[in-house]
Chains A and B, each alone.
Chain A
Amino acid sequence: MQFDYLLRKVFFAVITLIVVIVFNFFLFRILPGDPVKLLFRNPRLTREAQELIRVQFGLDKPVWLNIERLSAGDIPGALDSQFTAYIHNLLQGKLGISFTNRQDVGEVLSERVWRTVLLVFSGELLAIVMGVVVGLVAAWKRGTAIDSAALFIGLLTWALPTFFLGIILLILARGILPTGGMVTPGLAEEGTLEYWIDVGRHLILPSLTLAVVSASGYMLIMRSSVVEVLSEAYILTAKAKGLSNARILFSHALKNAMLPMITIIALTLGYVVGGAIQVETVFSWPGIGRLIYDSVAKQDYPVLQGAFLLLAVSVILANLTADILYSVFDPRVKVT
């Protein structure tokens, strides 16, 4: 059953990936305008030169199926289309070139991706710690003022748009913490300790913003999950054995209540990625999110396409990982 479950999850992830890739291809084909003109933005480019570039990029080929060659009886030739070229390039890691500076999209993304990873990881870590601690306390003290306060703050942070929380923190922390970028220019050589301390200082506000927004969800789930676990018979048994409250809470309740957290973290990752775009925009954090914001403004579609694909694929893979982890930690899982 275990194996069956995993196989189904992997199968679903693969299908999802394929749908995203196909969608990503077609979405950017409905764009109005000629990509050659968008790419070079040069009115002096002659018609012949434009045609040459079009052939070079394979834009003279049909989008989906090469009907012309299919009807001529050339069956493998039917696949000679923009779509197969796209898949072929994708498998080689070629994501096209940027409209604005003609840099390789793959290069642009790989240069920036670790910064977003750093932001999301530190934000998530902080969010999990905050969510677990507050949720545990709220559940233990349920029905009291502490519980109501925790619920109210959870409610408030959910209603708050991520970017607006960022803006508020940005105003409040002005002069105390760096509010934009990732490093202070000219402060230290890359790779030195001083450099990383500087990056850390720049990271505080963006990751705090991201953390507060995701923490409310984790807090609420942790709270309800602990409340549920606390009503289980084994908690009563532990109490009857004379264990201290702290021991029961941390080694009995916490462990079991943590299980749903794995799935929650994976499922909310999509929201976190959306939050990261907003946070990076507010704090000019030079990651994928800020890249998306800039590309939207500059109508740099290849970069946008690559960035979206990268985000979607990461979230799909993270979900698959969570499903696998969940079945490792909780062998009861069969079908969801």
Chain B
Amino acid sequence: MKQFRQFWRKPGGVIGALMLLVVLVAAVFAPWLAPYDPYQRVQVEASDILAPPDSEHLLGTDDAGKDVWSQLIHGARVSLLVGFTASFVSMVIGTTVGLVAGYFGGKIDNFLMRIVDFLLVIPDLPLALVIIAVWGRGLWKIILVISLLGWTYTARLVRAQTLAIKERQFILRARAIGANHRRIIIYHVLPLVMPLIMAQAVLDISASILAEASLSFLGLGDPTLVSWGNMLNFAFERAVSRQAWWFLLPPGFAILWVTLALILIGTSLEEVVNPRIKSHHLFNASRMVSLILPVPPRAEAIKEEP
């Protein structure tokens, strides 16, 4: 909890949290905040199509004559739902795999890490794309595909931590008083790795949101939903040539807003829970460092109990 208090002293973290709060409010209260219901059929006249912003429509209308501002607010729901759910599933898979691989080592470790290596080599977006293209478009399918492709980094991170923790005295003591493996993993190893997992999960949310947006932009989004990626797909197909910037730019900036917020929170959290990381731990940067350099035991990051 002390770490949590430190988080609020990081300007990046505070700004990120405030930025995320705006999106959360938009998502939760969308039906009340949005002046129009984007899922409702509308009666349109020719002048309503791609109409520029005015007092009636804050951000103008889209190619179907619907209010862009209302769609933008409702789009927050899809992005956050996909981001949080997919990153939660990847967190669970990644943590389990990492704990098991790191704690038991040997053949299990080798086998699990080869799967991780395999998933690291395969290009994610093309793979997600062909799976959705064949399987059919749908929100839950997208979430499942994103989470099944996104757990590898968490697994590596947790494994490295577990390797360091399991060598420590108190694990041996727990063994000595007869604790079984499951108990040790859940009560002794997991709590120490948890803060890092949380920081990573926040970064994963932004990656999942970006993945969903890219898939939707490429025409593989859930066709029944109003999402920022879908909006951009329509806008790109129909609004670019007509210079309808009010339809094209807002969803893009909304995605940028929420991913930036999550990255700020994630990197600040990471700095708090892992003081060894001095620079921003984003994208593949330090990920890549930890992949190349032989994994350093980070035991000193966590204070030895007396």
Contact = CB atoms under 8 A, between A and B. Distances in A.
B163 to A, nearest CB: 14
Contacts of A162: 214
Interface in B228-279: 232, 236, 240, 245, 248-249, 252, 255-256, 259-260, 263-264, 267, 279
Interface string A294-336: 0111010100110110011001100100000000000000011
Interface in B86-131: 114, 117-118, 120-127, 129-131
B120 A267 contact: yes
A143 B115 CA distance: 39
Interface residues of B, number: 52
B133 interface: yes
Q: Kindly state the interface size class of chain A when it binds its partner.
A: 35 or more
Contact of B126 (A221, A268, A308): A308
A220 B279 contact: yes
Contacts, number: 175
A207 interface: no
B234 to A, nearest CB: 13
A95 B141 CA distance: 27
A161 B289 CA distance: 23
Contacts of B240: 167, 170-171
B288 A151 contact: no
Contacts of A271: 123-125, 284
B6 interface: no
The secondary-structure label for the interface of chain B is helix
Interface in A189-223: 216-217, 220-221, 223
A240 interface: no
B126 A311 contact: yes
Given A260-B292, A267-B284, A267-B291, A316 B121 contact: yes
A274 B283 contact: no
Interface stretch (A58-66, A102-110, A246-254, A276-284): A276-284
Contacts of B249: 168
B289 A225 contact: yes
A273 B126 contact: yes
A83 interface: no
B280 A293 contact: no
B121 A270 contact: yes
A114 interface: no
22 contacts: A16-B121, A20-B122, A31-B134, A151-B280, A154-B280, A154-B282, A156-B256, A161-B217, A164-B256, A167-B232, A217-B284, A220-B280, A220-B285, A221-B285, A224-B285, A260-B289, A270-B121, A296-B218, A301-B133, A315-B123, A316-B122, A335-B294
Given A31-B134, A163-B217, A167-B248, 7 more contacts: A28-B134, A159-B260, A161-B255, A164-B252, A221-B284, A224-B279, A278-B218
